[in-house]
Amino acid sequence: MNRRFERVAVVGAGLVGAGWAIVFARAGQSVSIYDAQPAIRASVMDWIRDSLNEMERCGLTRDVPSILARITVSDSLEDAVAEADYVQESVFERVDVKHRISLAIGAAIRADAIVGSSSSGIPASEFTGDVQRRERFIIAHPVNPPHLIPLVELVPSPWTDPSIAPLLRDFMESVGQKPIVLSREINGFVLNRLQGALLNEAWALFDAGVASAADIDRTVSEGLGMRWSFMGPFETIDLNAPGGVADYAERLGPLYHSIAMDRRHPAQWHPDLIERVAAERRQALPLEDLASRCDWRDKMLMMLAAHRTMNQSDDSEDA
């Protein structure tokens, strides 16, 4: 990487933005956080401190005081981004909100700064077209929570400077994330297109009465997800046939094609279907227990991340 990123600004200090602050500060960057809501600005450091302490207990980080010392909360957007080498925007996922904050960021950043948006599906071309320094903007979509799940999707707009994606990929690698780079904008990017395919099939199976929501979840958590936690779909099928991926495709390609043909006209998630799934989920997990279950999820992710870190070996495919 030819350029150093020493000062990072995080705009939007919700769960995703606060997680990003941990990612950057843990890697040694100085981080300025800004959120338009004073209550969030007042509480974000407590959340970050609690998360870092839990990560330290799991062996995922150390020297929490030093990490915290690298993070400051700014009272204005301009103060947060003015001297930043990189800005990670993580505001509400709506085009008008993204557009408004991008206008403000574009007017306040240095000419050589880079801005990544945490947009999970809205392409940058929908909210940066008339933004000052629009060529410095790119999608940098994480998985929530970004400090525990390392994938980042980098998606340039048609006017993004071509040098930015490879530069940002190197930077994300240097702070411990696992970036992928898309060649162009596409609705939903890669992660949510893959997730959407699984979700649409899950809703359809439930709607048809094939299985309960709990059993569909179990199929992933105790089946597919066991492999998917350390390998992707192409490597999975490559290892699932004696002759590799070509052998697998010859054996099972017709089956998957017939399944796909079943869903040529997928139905929307209609209100009655949503109500039935929600009723089963609320019976299993009352709404008042949702936050504690989210905490449990994060602790499970920490333990998984710690296990992967301890057992990491050289991967020739990623070298």
- What is the token pair recorded at 192? 């949510």
> Is a pLDDT exceeding 50 seen at residue 311?
yes
Structurally, the chain folds into a number of domains equal to: 2
Residues 129 and 235 in one domain: no
Pairing of strands 71-73, 86-89: unpaired
Together in a domain, 154 and 31: yes
The pair of three-digit structure tokens given for residue 219, joined into one six-digit string:
């199929």
The owner of tokens 């279907």 is: 273
Percent of the chain with pLDDT over 70: 97
Between CA 313 and CA 209 the distance in angstroms is 43
Sign of CA dihedral 41, 45, 50, 55: positive
| Tens digit of each residue's pLDDT (9 = 90 or more) over 114-137 | 999 999 999 999 999 999 999 999
Whether 314 shows a pLDDT value over 80: the answer reads no
Burial of 241 (0-12, 13-18, 19+ CB in 10 A): middle
pLDDT at 317: 52
Domain match, 57 and 201 both: no
- Token pair, residue 46, equals 């407590």
Q: Do 149 and 87 reside in the same domain of the chain?
A: yes
Q: Are residues 40 and 163 in the same domain?
A: yes
298 domain-assigned: no
Residues 80 and 159 in one domain: yes
Spell 154-163 as b/e; 16+ CB within 10 A means b: bbbbeebeee
Q: What is the arithmetic mean of pLDDT over 183-188?
A: 95
- Please state the rounded mean pLDDT for residues 22-51: 97
pLDDT averaged over the chain? 95
Which of 248 and 265 is assigned the larger pLDDT? 248
Mean of pLDDT values over 69-98? 97
pLDDT at 69 over 70: yes
**Which of 163, 181, 199 corresponds to the end of one domain?**
181
Residue 261: pLDDT over 70:
yes
Residue 94 inside a domain? The answer is yes
45 and 168 together in one domain = yes
Residues 214/277, Cβ–Cβ less than 8 Å: no
Residues 6+ apart with CB under 8 A from 66: none
| 247 shares a domain with 135 | no
Peptide bond into 145 cis (omega under 30): yes
Which residue in this structure is represented by tokens 């557009």? 99
Assigned domain for 289 exists: no
Q: What is the pLDDT of residue 2?
A: 56
User: How much is the CA Rg of the chain, to the nearest whole Å?
Assistant: 21
Both 111 and 215 in one domain: the answer is: no
Residues of the domain holding 276 = 191-284
Find where tokens 């070298």 sit. Answer: 319
Q: Examine residue 211 and state whether it is found in any structural domain, yes or no.
A: yes
Strands 151-156 and 137-142: antiparallel
Please give the Cα distance from 45 to 153 (Å, whole number): 26
Residues 130 and 256 in one domain: no
Q: 220: domain CATH number?
A: 1.10.1040.10
* pLDDT attached to residue 111: 97
Q: What was the pLDDT predicted at 309? A: 84
Q: So what's the pLDDT on residue 316?
A: 44
State pTM to two decimals. 0.92
Apex 85 CA angle, 11 and 163, nearest 5:
110
Render pLDDT for 132-160 as a digit per residue (tens, 0 to 9): 999 999 999 999 999 999 999 999 999 99
CATH number of the domain bearing residue 157: 3.40.50.720
Residue 141 lies in a domain: yes
The answer to the question of residue 244 being in a domain is: yes
Q: Quick one: 201 and 167 in the same domain?
A: no
Are both 47 and 143 inside the same structural domain?
A: yes
Mean pLDDT calculated for residue range 62-80:
97
Domain membership of residue 42 (yes or no) is: yes
Q: Please check the confidence at residue 319 and state whether its pLDDT lies above 50.
A: no
Give 265's pLDDT tier (boundaries 50, 70, 90): confident
String of DSSP letters for the chain: --S---EEEEE--SHHHHHHHHHHHHTT-EEEEE-S-HHHHHHHHHHHHHHHHHHHHTTS---HHHHHHTEEE-SSHHHHHTT-SEEEE---S-HHHHHHHHHHHHHHS-TT-EEEE--SS--GGGT-TT-TTGGGEEEEEEPSSTTTS-EEEEEE-TTS-TTHHHHHHHHHHHTT-EEEE-SS--TTTTHHHHHHHHHHHHHHHHHTTSS-HHHHHHHIIIIIHHHHTTS-HHHHHHTSSTTHHHHHHHHHHHHHHHHHHHTSSPPP--HHHHHHHHHHHHHHS-GGGHHHHHHHHHHHHHHHHHHHHHT----TTT-
